[in-house]
């Protein structure tokens, strides 16, 4: 394939798509700030260990999907496949633990080597939030409420459904792990090779398998909620009660899991049927053990991430940008004056399109092509009187306007 083509799984985001993506991110950013979250931006690459530790060395992301390379200094570097690990690393390396609780949101590109599909690319974009240092169910309720608020503001909440589950506390997981291992061992021959390896290293990872044969085996597997301790049951009940109190609809899905040991208590996903097989648009949960896995002190955490590309497919058309005003010089002698007028109007807050060449007819055709709202025509006679011609491109009406009054006369065309 020609090197002049984009790499498979990547694409150029042209202005129309960019506008939709920006609308998603700016809406999410504005609402997150209402909830007291502040923006954080971590590097797009980290030492590979950051992700190998946090995502689990047997996870598909680590074993199959990470973009990893050795840099000129001999360090193993990975382009970030997700955002939470970098934020946990920043908490430790930046000495931020003394400032807990912390509420962050982030937006930016992520990278995974996987088969490109609708809404799933090898370079994709996420918006996410993390709430660190709060052990109570109120943190889980707040981040889910924030997610629902963002989806509602984007017009996407009614197109999605919220599923929640509990992964319990450590005692619950230990009890469940044992019965799960016993069940899977009895079906060992029917498991995929990957799941057989996971059964030895991290059996909960088997629950994440996408293999059809594994899924069939898992249909009869024991369910996590049946092995909750009373404390874990109370935690989940408090989350559900909080969501009920806020009027946030959800479905309890007892098979919704996260495979790694540092996940606990609440797991949740907003899914849709409008994007084909890739139905998850926002997913998250509680990860109280993550910071400790990375070498920091025990720190409670809960958060979520949403795919910007997938959300952009669900939102209605965002508000159109303002229609521009075309500044049209009639003759080469008016070009310098047109440039000055255009710059003055831009500084005054108007969207201005200034053609670079062509006669009056060509420039007016260009104004219509870009859907300009009005045209400021600089004819030599008008300019000699310190005036311009202002034409309403919708009605066709036009009038001579003194330059000193131009900004006031253009106000209705913003």
Write out pLDDT tens, residues 180-220. 999 999 999 899 988 898 888 778 878 878 889 999 999 89
pTM of the model as a whole: 0.88
Question: DSSP character for 408?
Answer: H
- Per DSSP, the residues of 68-117 read EEE-TTS-EEEE-S-SHHHHHHHHHHTTGGGG-SEEEEEEEEEE-----B
Residue 62: the pLDDT is: 67
Residue 358: the pLDDT is: 78
Please indicate, yes or no, whether residues 265 and 404 belong to a single structural domain of this protein: no
Percent of the chain with pLDDT over 90: 68
Is the pLDDT reported for residue 406 higher than 70?
Answer: yes
Q: Which of 277, 295, 314 is the C-terminal boundary of a domain? A: 314
| pLDDT tens-digit map of 91-103 | 999 999 999 999 9
Helix (H, G, I), strand (E, B) or coil at 304: strand
d(CA 354, CA 187): 71
Question: Could you tell me the CATH number of the domain that includes residue 122?
Answer: 3.30.930.10
Nearest of 266, 224, 251, 270 to residue 135 by alpha carbon: 266
| pLDDT tens-digit map of 263-301 | 899 999 999 998 876 789 999 999 998 999 999 999 999
| Mean pLDDT value across residues 233-258 | 94
Pick the most confident of 67-71, 206-210, 329-333.
67-71
| Paired tokens of 399 | 């009038």
Position with higher pLDDT, 49 vs 55: 49
In a domain, 195, yes or no: no
Residue 361: the pLDDT is: 86
Is the pLDDT reported for residue 239 higher than 90?
Answer: yes
Q: How confident is the model at residue 225 (pLDDT cuts 50, 70, 90)?
A: confident
Domain span holding position 263 = 15-169+229-314
Residue 259: the pLDDT is: 66
Percent of the chain with pLDDT over 70: 96
Please indicate, yes or no, whether residues 396 and 301 belong to a single structural domain of this protein: no
Is the pLDDT reported for residue 257 higher than 90?
Answer: no
| Mean pLDDT value across residues 154-168 | 95
Q: Does a cis peptide bond (omega within 30 degrees of 0) precede residue 157?
A: no
Please indicate, yes or no, whether residues 310 and 355 belong to a single structural domain of this protein: no
Specify whether the CB–CB gap between 83 and 110 falls below 8 A. yes
Q: How many domains does the chain have?
A: 2
Question: Could you tell me the CATH number of the domain that includes residue 363?
Answer: 3.40.50.800
| Mean pLDDT value across residues 388-414 | 93
Among the residue ranges 227-236, 351-360, 402-411, the one predicted with the least confidence is 351-360
Residue 34: phi and psi, rounded to 5, are: -65, -30
Q: Which of 314, 342, 368 is the C-terminal boundary of a domain? A: 314
Is the pLDDT reported for residue 58 higher than 60?
Answer: no
Percentages of the chain per state (helix, strand, coil), in multiples of 5: 45, 20, 35
Please indicate, yes or no, whether residues 132 and 280 belong to a single structural domain of this protein: yes
Residue 274: the pLDDT is: 86
Is the pLDDT reported for residue 330 higher than 60?
Answer: yes
Nearest of 99, 83, 82, 101 to residue 41 by alpha carbon: 83
Please indicate, yes or no, whether residues 308 and 337 belong to a single structural domain of this protein: no
Nearest of 142, 148, 123 to residue 21 by alpha carbon: 123
| pLDDT tens-digit map of 17-44 | 999 999 999 999 999 999 999 999 999 9
């Amino acid at each position: 394939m020609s090197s002049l083509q984009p790499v498979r799984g990547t694409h150029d985001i042209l202005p129309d798509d960019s506008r939709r993506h920006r609308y998603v991110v700016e809406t999410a950013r504005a609402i997150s700030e209402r909830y007291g979250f502040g923006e954080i931006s971590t590097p797009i690459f980290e030492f590979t260990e950051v992700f190998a530790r946090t995502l689990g060395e047997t996870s598909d992301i680590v074993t199959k999907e990470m973009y990893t390379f050795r840099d000129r200094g001999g360090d193993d570097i990975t382009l970030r496949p997700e955002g939470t690990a970098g934020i946990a690393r920043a908490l430790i390396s930046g000495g931020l633990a003394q400032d807990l609780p912390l509420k962050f949101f982030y937006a930016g590109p992520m990278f995974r080597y996987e088969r490109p599909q609708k809404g799933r690319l090898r370079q994709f974009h996420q918006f996410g939030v993390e709430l660190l240092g709060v052990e109570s169910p109120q943190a889980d309720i707040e981040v889910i409420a924030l997610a629902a608020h963002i989806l509602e503001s984007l017009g996407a909440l009614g197109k999605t459904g919220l599923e929640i589950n509990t992964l319990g506390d450590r005692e619950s997981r230990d009890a469940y792990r044992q019965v799960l291992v016993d069940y899977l061992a009895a079906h060992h021959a029917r498991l995929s090779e990957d799941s057989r390896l996971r059964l030895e290293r991290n059996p909960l990872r088997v629950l994440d398998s996408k293999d059809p044969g594994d899924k069939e085996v898992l249909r009869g597997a024991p369910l996590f909620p049946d092995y909750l301790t009373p404390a874990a049951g109370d935690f989940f009940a408090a989350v559900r009660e909080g969501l009920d109190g806020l009027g946030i609809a959800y479905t309890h899905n007892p098979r919704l899991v996260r495979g790694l040991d540092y996940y606990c208590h609440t797991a949740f996903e907003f899914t849709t049927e409008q994007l084909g097989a890739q139905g998850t648009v926002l997913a998250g949960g509680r990860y109280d053990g993550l910071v400790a896995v990375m070498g920091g002190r025990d720190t409670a955490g809960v958060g979520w991430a949403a795919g910007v590309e997938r959300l952009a497919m669900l939102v209605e058309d965002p508000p159109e940008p303002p229609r521009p005003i075309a500044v049209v010089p009639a003759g080469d002698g008016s070009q310098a004056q047109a440039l000055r007028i255009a710059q003055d109007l831009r500084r005054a807050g108007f969207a201005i399109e200034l053609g670079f060449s062509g006669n009056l007819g060509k420039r007016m055709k260009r104004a219509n092509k870009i859907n300009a709202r009005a045209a400021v025509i600089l004819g030599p006679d008008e300019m000699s009187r310190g005036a311009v011609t202002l034409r309403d491109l919708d009605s066709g009406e036009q009038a001579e306007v003194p330059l000193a009054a131009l900004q006031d006369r253009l106000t209705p065309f913003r």
